[in-house]
Amino acid sequence: ASDIERFLAAFYNQRDAVVEAARKLLSDEQAPRRQKLLVDLLHNLNENILAEDKEDDKKWFEGLESRFKNKSSYMRYSCENRIRSYMKEVSSFISNVHPTARDAYKKIIDLMSDKLKSVKYNGCYFDRREEEAVRLCTMEGWFSCQGPFDRDDCPCKHSINPYSNRESRILFSTWNLDHIIEKKRAVVPELAEAVKTRDGREVNWEYFYQLLFTVDNLKLVHIACHKKTNHNLSCDKSRIYRKRKQNHKIS
């Protein structure tokens, strides 16, 4: 084991003693910076990460509807809500679509809605019980910031475990599922234009679905890594319409 692993093991073996000592120090501490360090230490030591059911961590569920009985079901619901909000934006854009193309646009909305329902609005992204291939967190519920849209990683190494305590659950709501190719500036307007100018071609709605609702184009980012400037990225023109199947004649 490394030095840090030995240190952490010893630290957690003396957890109760550390908590008691930190509480005593905090009761007499006046300096804001030192108070913050002690509060954060106590906060982290009092986490109940592995607890899943409401009966085992009632504080985590404070402020939530009574229908949520375990942490993963709420986290899944919160992810579904984000994806649903994206769908609402796509639907509401229909008023900006050329009148002659609105029926076709509506059909694509219906196809996307059916697809989302079939995958339960990709709630799996926030559900730690899901398979590793589809969730964005570890088995314990740790999420790592994937960095700004124009970087491959997070320069600040942001991480959070919304399963650990109520405060972290609330803070996680400020993390963003950021569209690399922007939803409002690029994807939705391009979809509307594709429907308008299709001229008998079939719009590749599944490509737009991937850009709007999946991690093909979504990055989980800490609020400080969420750049709201223009990404200046556009859809792949070669994927907007489906390629026609070529008929090979037998000579």
17 compared with 56, residue with greater pLDDT: 56
Enter the DSSP assignment of 203. B
109 compared with 20, residue with greater pLDDT: 109
The answer to whether residue 12 scores a pLDDT higher than 80 is no
Q: What is the overall mean pLDDT for the chain?
A: 91
156 compared with 3, residue with greater pLDDT: 156
The Cα–Cα gap between 35 and 192 comes to 54
Q: In this predicted structure, what is the pLDDT of residue 40?
A: 75
Write the pLDDT tens digit of every residue in 220-245: 999 999 999 999 999 999 999 997 65
29 compared with 116, residue with greater pLDDT: 116
Q: CB-based contacts of 243: which residues, under 8 Å, 6+ apart? A: none
Q: Which of 3-12, 105-114, 117-126, 127-136 is predicted least confidently? A: 3-12
Q: In this predicted structure, what is the pLDDT of residue 244?
A: 62
Write the pLDDT tens digit of every residue in 35-83: 878 777 777 766 788 999 999 999 999 999 999 999 999 999 999 999 9
Half-sphere exposure of 107 (CA within 13 A, CB side): 9
Element (H, E) at 44: helix 32-45
Residue spans of the domains in the chain: they are: 3-46, 71-225
Structural contact between residues 105 and 195, judged by C-beta atoms closer than 8 angstroms: yes
Cα angle 75-150-125, degrees, rounded to a multiple of 5:
15
pTM of the model: 0.84
Q: In this predicted structure, what is the pLDDT of residue 250?
A: 47
Residue type, 172: F
